[in-house]
Structure 1
Amino acid sequence: MPRLQNDLWIIYVSLLLFALAMGLYSVIMPAYIRELGATSVQLGLLGSVALAIGTLSAIPGGLWADRFERRKLMLVGWAMCIPVPLIYAFSQHWLWLIPGYFLFNFSMFSNAAMQAYIASKTDENNRSFTFTFVMSSFSMGFVFAPTLGGYLAQSVGIRGTFWFSLVLYTLSTLSLLFLSPSYPEKHESRPAGVNWRDYPKQFWVLVALFSVVWFVMNIPASFNTPYLQDIAHLDLLKIGFLGSIAAIGGAILSPFLGKAADKFGSVRVLGICLCVTAGTYIIQLYAPTVYVLALVFLIRGGFSAVMSLMTAVISGISDRRAIGMSFAMYNLATGSAATLAPYTAGWLYGQNARFPFVLTIVLALIAGVYFVAKQQKRGEEQCHSPTF
């Protein structure tokens, strides 16, 4: 395994703790929202609003990442998540959740700072591996968190579960204090800003394609839990267990996918991930038994390194002097696409519980086959940037 700098290990640990905090309630959160009176359309609308907030935070986040010390930006972003579980715990109606959703999703402005920080500490020859390995800490955190969250929800109630998340968010934030500072590179000329002409055509083509991919991946995200409750008739403990199984797959396979991407090209590996993901949803629709679903979630979790692979590609074609803003434009575009997914899925789920998954299958197969078939030049194979 390539050697990682100590700062990258600190981010790994921080993300691991963050994933534990989030994982305790993320799988059962849709059930909690419905318990607070939300319909399927309102559940999708809440998800869309949350993603919209996170998307809008990308622009200031990118500007700040190219102008201010990045560790401080990460600390502020992480700290904003600490009071979120308290807001959720005391909510009596699904509308009361909105302030918590706002804080959590606006904190995503720090993503550009984190991505730029990781890129600044990364060996170019191991870019895909580094991004997938560091981000696999999220999967590692989700190995135990969803099952534990499901157990806690049945033992002390969903509201009681949020208090454990509060402690873990606090520890995750404090761990960032051990990072060394990371300052943006000084500009001899005007840095890239929000003007689209400041970026090469290839950048925008990739951003557009990756936005479609992220829309596809987010369609079933908010409705897996309702589907497993309504169609597969699983309780929250079993649903949490499936979330842990998916995390095991991600923790084990993501680093290997990163190595494969460094060797064979990130875009081709991305296409394979999409095709495999489509296959898992086909099986879920036709064999929704707990044992089959366990295998499905294990495989799907293992091939869920889509965002890490796309981020590695963007890192490879971005100007280091404005890498924060490049990530911001990428986050803005993919976030905008993802914002449409929950509401679309909510409307489809209201028509038929299987429709969101059918749409995901069709679009994922189309995108996956396209990426796998796309030819790459020899020189571009080295930097994993496709020709479009």
Structure 2
Amino acid sequence: MADVTIRKPQPVPMLDFSRQFAVLRQEIFDSIEAVCTSQHFILGPQVTSFEHAAATACAAPHAIGCASGTDAIWLALAAANVGPGDAVITTPFSFFATVSAILRCGATPLLADIDPATFNLSAPAVAKLLDSPVGRNVKAILPVHLYGQCADWDAFTALKQNHKLLLIEDAAQAFGATWNGVPAGALGDAAAFSFYPTKNLSAMGDAGLVTTTSAAIDDHARVLRAHGMRRRYYHEEIGWNSRLDSIQAAVLEVKLRYLPKWNQQRRDHAARYDQLFHKANLTADSTASTDKGIVLPITDPRAGHVFHQYVIRTPRRDELRQYLTDRKIGSEIYYPVPLHLQTSLSYLSYKQGDFPISEAAADEVLALPMYPELREDEQQTVVDTIASFYQ
């Protein structure tokens, strides 16, 4: 490892909303004023306009705005008629909403381990599960495009065809990502996006979106997001209140115009991090072991990564994170506890050791500052500070 000494590194925030807002301030205020003037606050013309723009960006024929990314996963599943008696296979290495949305549909989540290089759901692990006795009730697979990189869609498409299943994308972190040139949101039967403020495409509050290639799923999702109503006060089924408000849609449409540029800046930052880590002689030889250093993010050559997060695997992760925190260098752990070990999901009867790759990742991953406005000198500070920890 490099011999680097840092005495007073500059603070580097994990994320700085103010830098983006400073550039877009007037456009955002103008878009909000237009909503206020129109007095159409819920599912108004701005929502329709954003839905059309988002559908175009995702190369999907249909897009349905909703209240959050969590609701979007539920809507995508429920609109595809996933419900009681069905099982859905997904990953244990994701945010809690991935599994909670399955449960909210009344379906049963089945977990399969992840790929050690990309952290995405492992298609071979899913195939093994499908061939087991519990695979008989599986109706859908819900891969997560984790950290902004699409899951292995070639392999999942083959599983869909062989087993006649639905493929639903949890694309919460992946707006603008691609697989073999096809955008996330147009890969599966339906997809769910989050616009939580930390996302690449971010609202000023909670907001979400479902995209789909199916006119039937589109129609069903629109009914479900409005309490099961197609006609006002006539409830065809029990839905939910999950409508996208017009102010969030207006802000999102402003930001959507800049997203390709921002995503390219993230890719550029990721490449620079890679260069800095190699130059500092901090990287491991292996792509999956931290025995001899830091493992950098792996990008599948078929994937167009948008680096929602830049996540390394690192030895002595918790000590390193505290060292960075003490020097006001931002970092985060996505995710410290795999879903199968969450207390609230203990009744699913999974145990420690069931998904060893996910468990190892939870002990080693560390997300570093990553956003379009991140400066080169800040990246240098991050890497120099990490180097000083390992010297």
Q: Fold conserved (TM > 0.5)?
A: no
Determine which structure has the larger strand proportion and give its number.
2
Determine which structure has the larger helix proportion and give its number.
1
- Highest RCO, 1 vs 2 (Cα 8 Å, sep ≥ 6): 1
Higher CA-based Rg:
2
Give the TM-score, by structure 1 length. 0.30
